[in-house]
Amino acid sequence: MIEFDDVALRYGDGPEILRNLSFTIAPGSFHFLTGPSGAGKTSLLKLLLLSLKPSRGHITMFGRDTGRLSQDQLLDMRRHIGIVFQEFRLLDHLTTFENVALPLRVQGQKEADYAENVAELLTWVGLGDRMHAHPPLLSGGEKQRAAIARAVIAKPDILLADEPTGNVDPDLSTRLLHLFAQLNRTGTTVIIATHERSLLEDFPTPRMVLSDGELIIE
């Protein structure tokens, strides 16, 4: 599903913050990506989202060399990837409902067809009564749940989540992890970047640890 072949990344003329990345991620697997702050977790997720190009090496996704994709093909591939950003990136002028529905809308679905699914998912993440509120009025945890709902609504083949439980209480963070696990059971490949040790203990899954720019799979 995902294959990194000797990938390195640097920003501009800076030092390589990621290097010698060679690994494969099997379809339907569940991974935690950990490492200290500044280790490059977000950067690695951006590579996976195809929003950054590696400065060296090749990334193959869905059987295609991502370096050779046209912009349209790249955007098309993103529809199979769900992403939860560390800073959420919700659109402030849309309601929570509209934000979560955005991926479906972008795929050309009609509101009448997706309204119930979106409402159900929002209710499930505990935002049922905040559906028509705009993001600036949501708490940090509520925004995070909205961002997660947006990432999973289109049932992506790959889910990338950057610190998805950073702003919620332990109880909710366990629930959200179960949501990811459930999604994983239906076939979605899940990669969660986190530095919360406690999360990792609940889930006996392989860990990808970044340190000194290199990746170790434990």
Site for another protein, rule CB under 8 A: 49, 51, 71-72, 75-81, 83, 85, 89, 91, 93-95, 98, 102-107, 109, 111, 113-117, 119-121, 123-124, 126, 128-129, 131-132, 150, 152, 154-155, 157, 171, 174-175, 178-179, 182-183, 186-187
Cα separation of 212 and 193, whole Å? Answer: 16
Phi, psi of 46, rounded to the nearest 5 degrees: -65, -35
Min dist. Cβ of residue 184 to another protein (A)? 11
Half-sphere exposure of residue 114: CA atoms within 13 angstroms, side-chain side: 22
- Distance, CA of 129 to CA of 73 (rounded, Å): 38
Stretch that binds Mg ion, among 9-17, 37-45, 71-79, 107-115 (CB under 5 A): 37-45
Instruction: Please give the residue ranges that form the binding site for ligand ATP (CB under 6 A).
Output: 11, 14, 17, 35, 37-43, 86, 195
Binding-site string for Mg ion from residue 84 to residue 103, where x marks contact by CB under 5 A and - marks none: --x-----------------
Q: Which of 1, 5, 10, 42 binds Mg ion (CB under 5 A)?
A: 42
Phi, psi of 53 (to 5 degrees): -100, 140
Strands 16-25 and 81-84: unpaired
> Do 121 and 153 meet the contact criterion of CB atoms below 8 Å apart?
yes
